[in-house]
Amino acid sequence: MTQAHQEQVQQLILGLALRLRNDSEWEPSTGEHCKRCTYQKHCGAVCDQPEPLPESKRKFKLVQLALAV
């Protein structure tokens, strides 16, 4: 891996981390991984009538991200 590759990967991860932190534009992406998803019964992408989230899970939680450089 060259220095340029390392910097490119760091920028990619930083961009994803910032998008995760702002977290309002993520669309569900269905696939084989849905079979293992614990959120499945609440997910409108795979259920015609998804169950509402439990009240305790509705509170917005901040995500703390730390990246070692």
Cα 67–chain centre separation: 16
Closest to ligand SF4 by CB, 32 vs 69, is 32
Cβ neighbours, 10 Å, residue 43: 14
Closest to ligand SF4 by CB, 3 vs 38, is 38
What's the angle, vertex CA 31, arms to CA 5 and CA 66, rounded to 5? 40
- Site size for ligand SF4, by CB under 6 A? 11
Site for ligand SF4 in 10-49 (CB under 6 A): 28-30, 33-34, 37, 39-40, 43, 45-46
Interacting residues of 10 by C-beta distance below 8 A, sequence separation 6+: 67, 69
Footprint on this chain of ligand SF4 (rule: CB under 6 A): 28-30, 33-34, 37, 39-40, 43, 45-46
